[in-house]
Amino acid sequence: MIQLAERVRRGVADIQPYTPGLTDDELKHKYGLSRVVKLNANENALGPSPRALEAIRQELATLHHYPDGGSDLLRRAIAEFHGVEPENVLAGNGSDDLIKLLSETFLEEEDEIVVPFPSFSQYAFGAQVMRAKVVSVPLRPDFSYDVEAMAAAVSPRTKLVYVCSPNNPTGNVLTQTQAEWLLSRLPERVILVMDLAYNDYSQNPHRVMENARLLADPRVVCLHTFSKLYGLAGLRVGYGIAHPDLWGYVNRVREPFNVNRVGQRAAAAALGDEEHRDRSRRHAADSRAFYERALVETGIPFTPPEGNFILVRTGDGRATTQALMERGIMVRAGFAGLDAYVRITFGLPDENELCVEALKQVCRR
C-alpha cells in the first residue's frame, strides 16, 4: 500500500476539501419534498440573460473546437464596458480561478495575505494551497471594515491584501474613502485585491467603485464575476482588471484554455444585455425592501444588505438551516465566526415569501 500521506506536498493534508451541501434533488429525496427553494448560493433568481442563452445555442455546434485561449472577444467586450484596454483584463474560470491564479503567481511559503474576517473563504484557500499564512482582521462589531487594523496587519511578508465589497457573507461595503485610505497606507510591494462580485447590486453611494484613479495604481486588482448579476454561475466565467504587467506574470501560470467556449460567448452577450442587468438590479432592490420590512415586522435581526443576499441572526444558524431544509428551503450557515446567523439569497417573490413564513415558524419555536 502506497503511503500517500507521506507523499503529498506539505500542507495538502491540512486543507479541508470544499464540501458542497445537498443538491436540490438530494434534498427532495431525503425529505420527500415536491418543491425546493434554493436560496443558498447567491445565484441570480431571474436566471441567465436571454441574450446569453441565444449565444449559447449558437455556440453549441462549434464545441469540437478548443476555446480562444486568450478569451480575446470577451476581454475586448469587458474592456469597452469598463473603459479600459483589453490588456488590463484577464478572464478566468470563475473569479475563483483568478483568486487561485493570483495566489500561485505571488505567494510562497511564509508569505502572508491579509483578509477581512469573516469573508469569502477562497482567499484563505488560495494562500493555504501555497503554504502562505493567512492574517485575518476582524470586521468591526457592526461588520463595517476596520481598514486601520488591516493596514496595521501588513508585515514585511505581506504580498496580497483582500477586500470584498459588498462582503460575503455580511453584506457591508468598503467605502471609496476607506479603499483610497487603505491604498495610501500599503507599501509599494503589496497588492490590493478588491473583490467586487456583488458591487453592481449595491445602491450605496459611498461604496468603492473602480474609478480611473484606482485603476491607474499598478497595485490594484479588481475582480468581477458573471455568476451573480449576470446569472451565469453554471458556466464559470469571471474576470479581473489590473495593470497589464501583473497579468503578464499571472498568464504564465494560467491554464491555456481556462475559459470554455460557451462561457466566453455567453458572458460577452450578457454584458451587452442592459435590460437583464437592470431587471436583476431591480429584483435585488425589491427583495431587499421585502426582507427588511418583513424581518422588522417579525423582530428578527438582520444586517443591512447591499448584495443579493441578507445575513439574518436567528440564534443558531445551523439549526435554522436544518429546520428550513426540512421545509424545502435551502439557505446557508456555518460561516466561521457567524454561528448565530444564516445567509439567505434573494429568490423570486413567492420564494422570498415562503422563506419568511418558514423563518417565522422556525424562530417562534
Ligand X SMILES: Cc1ncc(COP(=O)(O)O)c(C=O)c1O
**Residue ranges in contact with ligand X by CB under 6 A:** 42, 94-96, 120, 164, 168, 195, 197, 225, 227, 233, 238
Instruction: Report which DSSP code applies to 143.
Output: S
CA angle, 277 then 282 then 288, to 5° = 130
Q: Which residue is nearest to ligand X (CB)?
A: 94
CB of 88 to ligand X, least distance (A): 18
Cell of 224: 468581477
CB of 232 to ligand X, least distance (A): 9
CB of 239 to ligand X, least distance (A): 9
Cell of 54: 441565444
* Whether 137 contacts 153, CB under 8 Å: yes
Cell of 339: 454561528
Residue closer to ligand X (CB basis): 163 or 323 = 163
Element (H, E) at 323: helix 317-326
**What's the CA gap between 352 and 223, in Å, rounded?**
29
CB of 330 to ligand X, least distance (A): 15
Give me the residue label for grid cell 476596520: 146
Residue closer to ligand X (CB basis): 257 or 357 = 257
Residue closer to ligand X (CB basis): 238 or 362 = 238
Residue closer to ligand X (CB basis): 59 or 96 = 96
CB of 42 to ligand X, least distance (A): 5
* Closest among 196, 243, 188, 239 to 215, alpha carbons compared: 243
List strands edge to edge, sheet with 302-303. Answer: 302-303, 309-313, 341-345
* Closest among 103, 101, 98, 110 to 10, alpha carbons compared: 110
CB of 164 to ligand X, least distance (A): 5
Residue closer to ligand X (CB basis): 95 or 103 = 95
Residue closer to ligand X (CB basis): 262 or 358 = 262
* Burial (CB count <10 Å: 0-12, 13-18, 19+), residue 355: buried
